[in-house]
A and B are shown apart, each in its own frame.
Chain A
């Protein structure tokens, strides 16, 4: 397998060339998209209504500067013993949380960026139970400890200091991670489809890196890098050998093993070659410490209480400082083991270090693959990596200068998750007395070269570390930093953060707020062009229509207000829009010159009173930008002097459908009234009369016609009820049943009623009743029997209404 940092290098030059070119003057205004807009996201809850309103009111967002809020972080938590098949229900709390943010963003009309963390490198409490159940689920430092001496005694060590392993061989842990990831992503995918203008980005896993929590400048760096968990070590071995899950013939990760590994190192001879190639002296591929096998029962059913993994190491068995046995059942002399001491430049160390980075990259990439399979578009799913080889001015060319690089194994290339997602990274600069530590210096060009759609997931032009009393720079200086970022061309920048206490990164009320306001004003109309002086040429005006108004007379011209068909953007949101120029002529193809200029407006409606009834006019329009450069003319529209104004009452429509139809004077038009179901045409009103649904109209003037309809359907009688009563003479008795109802006022005159005895699903006609009747008496019914009667109205045409029914006992 090729090293991951190689592929994107070849694209650096091409992408940089595109970025440096930028749109030329005279270029037509492009449709805003993730390729040319900048999402200005502020790290702050969108549910904070007052702050969101403040931001919207004080920052002049526009076509290519989109307001957004970022929420860092959300940590989906699928309980350790929840059946994986029930992940959807198990993540209800997460979904509820996401819903609340989406609703808040929708309500405020802002975009939303959410950050997901895995629970392994951030949100550590999520997998506490997993780590306690089997300590191999933790990341192990080079001394096989999971934390420092001081950290392990902390009651909250698992939630604070102990990272979970990223190894794909931690199969039970991975099953839980994958189930919750796929379920969360499916839910987010649905929300994105439902609210594409709101939920624009999700990044994850937030800052995936190996454990750095033992970083201590007082201790040699080699004391604290990971991950030596037996899961990671066995994966390392199989990655080299293309064995196990990396078996090219059928392994789950076939084809992803070490590019120079595989059969060359398999078997006894292979081991010898490996020793020769890498300067090792292993006598077996079995692990030196805590050997285990993929054939072990890894407990794929989390919901039961039993974990029968024979090699499981419960936390209760963990011995701080005692996890590197030199004898006993957990030790194999001559067994396989990664290098334990840093030796940059040696093949063996570099192979191990590359595997560590590959493990991190795979961890990030696997999540992107799942997101892609859940339907999240690649330009909405971002990685969110710590660019450890670029931190604070260090360079990928000399990554070892940064201790965090050694520990985290997350160089900037691990952010590249294409084609399943887009790259994203935490990139911020710190200000110290007299100097700046700028991650941006090296991270921006690498990220820009990686993909045309990329993001800065946490950005600060200058953080103020609390231990140093540094003064904030002036707004112009900070603005210059923002412009540096802008010129690199990120799609989304999460400005970290709107408020904070203490204000190490705070924007609100600081010079950063002033700078950001000026920054947005500068870029809002520039479509990510590096030339901030560019003024785009207006596109052709669409949706132009006109209507002759008999009153006046006048011609009313209307625009949709939208710059592009099917897009939400309005002309007034384009800062470089000046006005529309409207031209009028009396012959088709008239020249759009000063003699034909009818007027100019910035509104969507323009009324031209200089018209005469009976004359046919032609109009066209074009937009003009702030540099007074016009766009192309719209299609020419024809506005005849007369119009047919058609409308329809309740219960039908017309053919042609209701609306205003402008035709030349004298045009004859056929118009037909079309009743809806259960309605019938009644009559014409306005400038026509009669009951014939099809008429001819000659436009010798503006004609206003209305088609009127009436209900044609029949409705059952109302208040249908019944009762039984005793009817007697001196010696005889009879039970009679009396049914009563009211005529349905919605019905036209009816011919009769039909009374049915309803028996099960069938019915039997009992009587046909005079339409004026409202009561019916039936003799000789059984005193204790329940009867169900149905009564329907029957129209003159024989059609029968639905039945009203009543049950009488």
Chain B
């Protein structure tokens, strides 16, 4: 059996992860900032590539982001995602497994509409592709873009829930085939805001009532 494991080039990969981590660090809330959100995502990922769909199909994808406010309506976020599927080899119908992990950062525009926060933005992710089956084990990583939009409903000042949709693309060639591992993802998200809340306006001053 000829192994098809294609290891990524360590130096290049290290540099990429470093760049992503640096971006995430920049996005971290600074002391004194207005607050930090933690958003958890869960959705359905539909791959763009036909072969992907034939062998693995679509499936659940998960993610988590840390979001900080950068400007009044602009947030910076950093986070990661996870996708895992089991499929069948085309001739022998043996099991094959694919795992895609992402790590990236992005920027988004947010606007409050009543109790809704609607947002849209773009990110740059590092995709770590991992496939394992009787033919061999391969692993490869590459950066690719993502655009994402969504809306949250604020239940409280800290907790929100909403929905999102994203589109991503990343074409990699870990072995004999070059494939786009991106696609459309749509799902639900939960958000929780940590830290000091933006102070409420002071109550309006009223004349003191006289003592009797």
Contacts and interface: CB of A to CB of B under 8 A. Distances in A.
Interface of A: 725-734, 736, 777, 779-780
Contact of B90 (A727, A731, A777, A779): A727
B48 interface: no
A737 to B, nearest CB: 11
A729 B174 contact: no
Given A732-B138, A732-B175, A732-B177, A780 B55 contact: no
Given A725-B91, A779-B1, A732 B56 contact: no
Nearest to A725: B91
A730 B135 contact: no
Contacts of A733: 135, 175-177
Given A736-B92, A779-B1, A730 B55 contact: yes
Interface in B40-86: 49, 51-52, 55-56
Interface string B166-187: 0000001111110100000000
27 contacts: A726-B90, A726-B91, A727-B89, A727-B90, A727-B92, A728-B89, A729-B87, A729-B90, A729-B131, A730-B51, A730-B55, A730-B56, A730-B98, A730-B179, A731-B4, A731-B131, A731-B173, A731-B175, A732-B133, A732-B138, A733-B176, A734-B2, A736-B92, A779-B1, A779-B134, A780-B1, A780-B2
B136 interface: yes
Q: What are the 3 closest A-B residue pairs judged by CB atoms, nearest first?
A: A727-B91, A733-B176, A732-B175
Nearest to B178: A731
A731 B91 contact: no
Is the contact region of chain B dominated by helix, strand, or loop, or is it mixed?
Answer: loop
B125 interface: no
Contacts of A726: 90-91
A779 B173 CA distance: 22
Interface string B85-117: 001011110001010000000000000000000
A97 B187 CA distance: 102
Contacts of B4: 731-732, 734
A733 B134 CA distance: 11
Contacts of A727: 89-92, 135
Nearest to A782: B2
Contacts of A729: 55, 87, 89-90, 96, 98, 131, 133, 135
Nearest to A738: B91
A736 B52 CA distance: 21
B32 to A, nearest CB: 47
A732 B91 CA distance: 12
Interface string B114-156: 0000000000000001010111101000000000000000000
Contacts, number: 71
A731 B176 contact: yes
A85 B177 CA distance: 75
B1 A777 contact: no
B180 to A, nearest CB: 10
B55 to A, nearest CB: 5
B99 to A, nearest CB: 12
A236 B188 CA distance: 136
Contacts of A780: 1-2
Interface of B: 1-2, 4, 49, 51-52, 55-56, 87, 89-92, 96, 98, 129, 131, 133-136, 138, 172-177, 179
Contacts of A730: 49, 51-52, 55-56, 87, 96, 98, 131, 177, 179
A734 B135 contact: yes
Nearest to B136: A732
A214 B134 CA distance: 107
A675 B123 CA distance: 85
Is the contact region of chain A dominated by helix, strand, or loop, or is it mixed?
Answer: strand
Contacts of B89: 727-729
A593 to B, nearest CB: 94
Give the residue among B2, B131, B138, B173 with the most A Cβ atoms within 10 A. Answer: B2
A728 B90 contact: yes
Contacts of A728: 55, 89-91, 135, 176-177
Contacts of B49: 730
Contacts of B96: 729-730
B7 to A, nearest CB: 14
Contacts of B174: 731-732
A733 to B, nearest CB: 4
Nearest to B173: A731
Contacts of B1: 779-780
Given A729-B89, A730-B52, A731-B179, 5 more contacts: A728-B55, A728-B89, A729-B131, A731-B138, A733-B175
A779 B135 CA distance: 9
A190 B21 CA distance: 105
A725 B89 CA distance: 12
Contacts of A731: 4, 129, 131, 138, 172-177, 179
Nearest to B181: A730
A733 B135 CA distance: 7
A787 to B, nearest CB: 16
Nearest to B1: A780
A727 B136 CA distance: 12
Contacts of A777: 92
Give the residue among B1, B52, B98, B177 with the most A Cβ atoms within 10 A. Answer: B177
Contacts of B87: 729-730
A736 to B, nearest CB: 6
Contacts of A734: 2, 4, 135
A253 to B, nearest CB: 89
Nearest to B95: A729
A218 B91 CA distance: 110
A672 B149 CA distance: 94
Contacts of B135: 727-729, 732-734, 779
Contacts of B129: 731
Contacts of A779: 1, 134-135
Give the residue among B129, B135, B138, B176 with the most A Cβ atoms within 10 A. Answer: B135
Nearest to A728: B90
Given A779-B1, A780-B2, A732 B92 contact: no
A731 B134 CA distance: 13
A727 B91 CA distance: 5
B196 to A, nearest CB: 47
A636 to B, nearest CB: 82
A4 to B, nearest CB: 97
Contacts of B56: 730
A777 B96 CA distance: 18
Contacts of B175: 731-733
A733 B133 CA distance: 11
Contacts of B55: 728-730
A730 B87 CA distance: 9
A734 B134 CA distance: 10
B178 to A, nearest CB: 8
B128 to A, nearest CB: 13
A545 to B, nearest CB: 72
Contacts of B92: 727, 736, 777
A629 B109 CA distance: 141
A733 B4 CA distance: 9
Nearest to B97: A729
Nearest to A726: B91
Contact of B176 (A725, A732, A736): A732
B87 to A, nearest CB: 7
B52 to A, nearest CB: 6
A777 B176 CA distance: 21
Contacts of B172: 731
Nearest to A733: B176
A725 B90 CA distance: 10
A732 B134 CA distance: 10
A793 to B, nearest CB: 26
B183 to A, nearest CB: 13
Give the residue among A725, A728, A777, A780 with the most B Cβ atoms within 10 A. Answer: A728
Contacts of B131: 729-732
